[in-house]
Amino acid sequence: EAQVTQNPRYLITVTGKKLTVTCSQNMNHEYMSWYRQDPGLGLRQIYYSMNVEVTDKGDVPEGYKVSRKEKRNFPLILESPSPNQTSLYFCASSLAGEAGLYEQYFGPGTRLTVT
């Protein structure tokens, strides 16, 4: 089954404790992206990657890191989480290229709470 998986689905942590949210896709998609969803603010892009070893900032990259060492994986790293990073996070993937971006497949989401 074609899918994007995220782990963990739920996470409660404390300020400053480094964490990683994993994302994996089995569709051989070049493009992967991380979004955060907050009430009243919709979906905002954090980082995206056009291919292995190619990453770029989205609209709200501060406080986050990503890496793309393998095509299927795109982990989101919070080196020192803060309460304002409490949010619902989505990973997405799609075919790359101007003609290829017709559908992004989203993962099920990771609900992060930073106390």
Q: Is 84 strand, coil or helix? A: helix
Which one among 7, 20, 22, 45 touches other proteins, defined by CB under 8 A? Answer: 45
The residue range among 12-20, 52-60, 68-76, 77-85 that interacts with other proteins, by the rule CB under 8 A, is 52-60
Residue 95 one-letter amino acid: L
Which one among 41, 70, 77, 80 touches other proteins, defined by CB under 8 A? Answer: 41
With a CB cutoff of 8 Å and minimum separation 6, the contacts of 101 are 31, 94, 95
Which one among 10, 42, 62, 115 touches other proteins, defined by CB under 8 A? Answer: 42
What torsion, rounded to 10 degrees, do the Cα atoms 30, 90, 25, 29 define? -20
Which one among 1, 10, 40, 69 touches other proteins, defined by CB under 8 A? Answer: 40
The residue range among 16-24, 42-50, 64-72, 74-82 that interacts with other proteins, by the rule CB under 8 A, is 42-50
| CA separation for the pair 49, 66 (Å, rounded) | 9
Nearest distance, CB of residue 14 and other proteins, angstroms = 25
